Amino acid sequence: MKTIVNLKNINKLAIPATIAGISEPLLSITDAAIVGNIPEYGLESLAAAGIVGSFLSMLIWILGQTRSAISAIISQYLGAGRLDEVKTLPVQAIFFNILLSIIILLSTVFVVEEIFMFLKAKDKILEFCVSYYGIRVWGFPLTLFTFAVMGIFRGLQNTSWPMVIALIGAVLNILLDYIFVYGIEGVLEPMYLDGAAWASLLSQGVMAIIAFFLLVLKTDISLKLRFPLHPELGRLVIMSLNLFVRALSLNIALILAVREATDLGDRFIGAHTIAINVWLFSAFFIDGYGAAGNILGGKLLGAKDYPNLWNLAKKIIQYGVTVSLVLMVLGFVFYEPIGRLFSNEQVALDTFYSVFYIIILSLPINSIAFVFDGLFKGLGEMKYLRNTLLGATFLGFVPMLYLGKYLGWGFTGIWIAFTVWMLIRGAALVFKFNSKFRPLLQKT
């Protein structure tokens, strides 16, 4: 059946993907917002949640890239009408994901203090980081299992069930955060930052259970591991490795930013925690159209329908930029209340407000990068995505970050570096898509 590319079909995938996407950073945002308002050690708790959240996000993003690889392969086979040929691949990919997550977990859990000392955490913040991470890290394999299942559903052109999984996890996390952090008088003592960690861990467990049952009940995919290994597993691993390198370079930028903000002082890492959570929230919000591009792009490529692929790219960019402009307006209108969601510490808020305008103004640039990023994943262009991120990070972000430090730009310099980073990413992807697919379009 020919795929029709119109607003209705794109939004059918993009809207649930957007809701699912913003639910992911909502877990960290909730932790940051609630612990930042703890009566005692609120600023230190906020800083620790930000440092640990950034490190865990790095691990999850690096290994969670198999979600995009699974989605790309399944959607391409679906578009080619050969879905039956890859039925044994998903469960092999899931086991691959879980094995990697266990290896990474065990390699970090025994050197956790050294990791956060490298990120320049010290004194009370370091103590909080070690305790918080020691609980949250055990949710790592659960999250990667859930991500793999979401990738399978995306490949099958279904973003509704991933949305359900993510929403239940986010709502449960918010409820448990309030209960565990502040306690229930006469029933449960306040657990403060550790309570936020337990809330996240339990929410991740529930999401994994729901993902398991939905996969069993709503698809024909078996979770019984069968041999021999599927021929496409090698391509999936290569695609995933390219995305691992890409995600590693991406997270080098995020970690360097955290390190530099921490080095500036407590109020700066507190402000950076607020800023990066707002930035990630907007990124996942815009990324819904990237997810639609990922899903439909792979299917159209599998069917070799280049006119509709070109049309898809134009439409998702238009919609993505429109969403970013709406977010810009909302950001300017609710400038002060957004900051106060996270903290009552005026010194941290003033520092955050000093860079918030940069985050808001860069949203249209971000939308182009995020949307094309999703489309390229669906097309299986993992090698180019890898090279783009390496170039943007080491030729753009890192030089700009340390130039800003040398020139004394302080906290503002960190967020100027982020803007340059996103500008390079978006421009490289637009150039590549035009140079590769315009000639194919002209031949049809």
pLDDT tens-digit profile, the chain (444 residues)? 555 666 777 878 778 877 776 666 666 667 777 877 776 766 788 778 878 877 877 777 666 667 777 877 888 788 778 878 888 888 888 888 788 778 877 888 788 888 888 877 888 888 888 888 888 888 888 888 888 888 888 888 888 898 899 889 988 988 998 899 888 877 888 888 888 889 989 999 999 999 999 998 988 877 788 878 888 888 888 887 887 888 888 878 988 998 899 888 878 888 888 888 788 778 877 777 888 888 888 888 888 888 888 888 888 899 889 989 998 999 888 888 888 877 777 888 888 889 999 999 999 999 999 899 888 988 888 899 999 999 999 999 999 999 999 999 989 999 999 999 999 999 999 999 999 888 877 776
Instruction: Give the per-residue pLDDT at 297.
Output: 84
Cα-based distances in Å from 307 to 94, 161, 163, 300: 34, 30, 30, 9
If phi > 0 it is left, if psi is from -120 to 50 it is alpha, else beta; for residue 113 that is alpha
Contact 372, 426 (CB under 8 A): yes
pTM: 0.75
Q: How far apart are CA 310 and CA 157, in angstroms?
A: 19
- Give the whole-angstrom CA distance, residue 131 versus residue 342: 21
Are 87 and 134 a contacting pair, CB within 8 Å? no
Q: How far apart (Å, rounded) are the C-alpha atoms in residues 71 and 116?
A: 34
Structure tokens at 302: 């599998």
For residue 317, what are the CA distances in angstroms to 158, 163, 287, 312? 21, 22, 11, 9
DSSP SS3 for 89: helix
Which of 249, 251, 260, 252 has its CA nearest to residue 120? 260
**Alpha carbon distance 12, 47 (integer Å):** 38
Q: Is residue 417 within 8 Å of residue 404, measured between CB atoms?
A: yes
Q: What is the pLDDT of residue 185?
A: 79
